[in-house]
Amino acid sequence: MAVKRIGSVFAALAALVASCHAEGSRSSARAPDIRVDTGIDTGRITIPGGSLYWQSAGTGAPVVLIHGGNLDHRMWDAQFDSLRQHYRVIRYDARGFGRSSAADRPFSAPDDLAALLEALAIPRATLVGLSMGGGIAIDFALAHPEMVDRLVLAAPSVSGGVWPDDHDTLWLAAGRAAFARGDSIGLALAWLKSEYIRSALGDPATAEKLRGILTDNAGHLMRRARDQDSVREQSPPAVSRLAELQMPILLLVGGADTPLIRAMADTLAAKAPRLTRIDLPSVGHMINLEAPTVFWRESVSFLSR
């Protein structure tokens, strides 16, 4: 079986389409002013080399939602609106996504998250992450265990390690062609054909939502594909340190997810000492969108213990 070593599930996109050696167009991240809107505080914090866009609502114990790769904070709309009734919920756009600044220089995603929590005066929080967001949560918990109450990880990536190859090439032809002609929207929409997204498109409303988020992130995606992602991985990587995760962890795994993600989940479940695993047999990668009721029920039960 072919294997590959990666730190982020979505690093493959940059590596493969960048091999086309084509130019793409740049677009700037949006920069809204701080405002209060229907009880939601929004703002922007300065980080080395850029800024992060965030939203916060509710009161109580802090819960931070971290989105998946090629997406942004809007993938958590349903969970944000529900959790704010019981917790202080924060969601943000990671660097290189959404309304945050471009990932055009070396940076550490856990360091960015630490800067956000410091700016919002949050000394300790529960982290909820999907895919890339789960990987950021794991790396942050290893770097700053004193700042993490517990982890909710849905289909998380794990930095470092050797993993099975997904053999998912359905989206590559369309993606490479769009990249070669400088078509950022076409490149973004090609990702809809990937195994990470396809299983979430059965519901028309979810499909429309994902299509909108991806096209809004098209400029960021083209830039990362052309210039390569500048994120610095943890050293040593998480895969060799998972036993250090001493906080309670809820792990949600879709039975229809990719072999790579399931292998990462197996490794995490085998090494993290305080982990509760829940398998969802017919669910794919986008767990919170494909099975929102189960995601909500299991997450709230875990958070309330």
pLDDT digits (tens, 9 = 90+) for 222-244: 988 887 667 777 789 999 999 99
Number of domains in the chain: 1
**Would you say residue 101 lies in a domain?**
yes
Domain containing 257 equals 21-167+228-303
- The upper half-sphere exposure of residue 222, i.e. CA atoms within 13 Å in the direction of its Cβ, equals 25
Q: Alpha-carbon distance 53 to 42, whole Å?
A: 8
| Contact yes or no for 211/69 (Cβ under 8 A) | no
**Would you say residue 44 lies in a domain?**
yes
pLDDT digits (tens, 9 = 90+) for 201-214: 999 999 999 999 99
**Would you say residue 207 lies in a domain?**
no
Provide the pairing of β-strand 40-47 with 50-57: antiparallel
What's the mean per-residue pLDDT of the chain? Answer: 87
Number of H helices, E strands in the chain: 12, 11
**Would you say residue 132 lies in a domain?**
yes
CA angle 283, 84, 216 (to 5 degrees): 60
Residues ≥6 apart with Cβ < 8 Å to 297: none
CATH number at residue 119: 3.40.50.1820
- The upper half-sphere exposure of residue 89, i.e. CA atoms within 13 Å in the direction of its Cβ, equals 24
pLDDT by 10-residue block (mean), the chain, 305 residues? 39 43 36 52 95 97 97 98 96 97 91 98 98 97 98 97 80 89 94 92 96 95 78 86 98 96 98 98 97 96 93
- Residue 226, Cα to own-chain centre: how many angstroms? 20
**Would you say residue 179 lies in a domain?**
no
**Would you say residue 121 lies in a domain?**
yes
**Would you say residue 159 lies in a domain?**
yes
**Would you say residue 10 lies in a domain?**
no
